[in-house]
Structure 1
Amino acid sequence: MKAKGFTLIELAIVIVIIGILVAIAVPRFVDLSDQANQANVDATAASVRSAYAIATVEAGGVPNCNQILGKLDGGSVSAGIWTSTDGKTTVTCTAGTPGSLTVSRGGKTATLNYNIKP
């Protein structure tokens, strides 16, 4: 009767193939989190642009940080910083001519420069 099963060499080859597949797949998954953070920053920056436009119209001119950040949904404002509900995305407002609104999440940032009253 002939023995059934895998030889040690066959098992070693399967393990090597699995290792190669993992080595290819893992960097792609790591890159996805960076892409997700960048997409979140870009989406929040678009919301900040809209918030600035709305605050400008409501203020009848150049708005201040509280007027701009108060227009952003899904978070809270404290001391010129808006923080998302999950605590991972922030928008920092700096007054000036031009002032800046900096969006950050996971090491990714976007800065928007507008005139902002103190």
Structure 2
Amino acid sequence: MKRQGGFTLIELVVVIVILGILAVTAAPKFMNLQNDARKASLEGLKGSIQGAAGIVYGKAAIKGLESVDASKADAGKKPNVDGIDITFGYPVATSAALGAAVNGLGSDWTCQNAASSDPAAIQCSFKNNTEWTANKGCYVQYQQAKSASEAASTTVVVTGSSCK
């Protein structure tokens, strides 16, 4: 009689155990993809805001408006570039100014004044983000320029459970 070739029960159990160990070690890496995507989206928004601010600054410099303080300008003569209100050459920290500078900001993101005491900052996050306090949520904070020697800055804040 011819002996049949095949796997023994022990060999099958060993293979199943090895696959189980691999699944346990690899699964956590793939479970956090949604949060990683949120963080990457915020980094993309940060880059968009920085790029737009740089372009606006370049246009302001061409017009000689890079050192004009919007808070000291007359009400009818606020400096702007292509309809974007500026201060020291950079967009002011308002939804309207950033929305005019960054394409798609109003359709995909929502912005509001920063929770901090600084009125020259604005936070932008996903339209469905409900965690807006300074200690929660995930958002991009844009800080308008404070002087001709201090440029505008943009930071990503990731502290809430929706981004971790």
Q: TM-score, normalised by structure 1?
A: 0.64
Which of 115, 120, 124 aligns to 1:98? It is 120
Report how far residue 51 of structure 1 moved.
3.1
The Cα RMSD (Å) is 3.2
Deviations along 1:39-71, one digit per CA (max 9) or x if unpaired, are 221121121233345289413536342121122
Structure 1 counterpart SS, 2:121 = strand
Report what 2:141 is aligned to. 111
Structure 1 counterpart SS, 2:101 = coil
Alignment map for 1:35-74 (pairs within 5 Å): 35-53=36-54, 54=56, 57=60, 58=81, 59-61=85-87, 63=92, 64-73=94-103
Is the Cα–Cα contact under 8 Å of residues 123 and 142 in structure 2 kept in the other structure? yes
Hey, which of these two has a bigger chunk of strand by percent?
1
Paired residue type of 2:95: C
Could you tell me how far apart the structure 1 residues matched to 2:44 and 2:20 are?
Answer: 37
Could you tell me how far apart the structure 1 residues matched to 2:4 and 2:28 are?
Answer: 41
Could you tell me how far apart the structure 2 residues matched to 1:44 and 1:109 are?
Answer: 9
Q: TM-score, normalised by structure 2?
A: 0.49
Is the Cα–Cα contact under 8 Å of residues 51 and 69 in structure 1 kept in the other structure? no
Q: Which moved more, 1:60-69 or 1:15-24?
A: 60-69
Is the Cα–Cα contact under 8 Å of residues 122 and 142 in structure 2 kept in the other structure? yes
Hey, which of these two has a bigger chunk of helix by percent?
1
The number of residue pairs the alignment matches comes to: 104
Closer/same/farther in 2, CA of residues 60 and 10 from structure 1, 3 Å limit = closer
Closer/same/farther in 2, CA of residues 33 and 60 from structure 1, 3 Å limit = closer
Could you tell me how far apart the structure 2 residues matched to 1:50 and 1:60 are?
Answer: 15
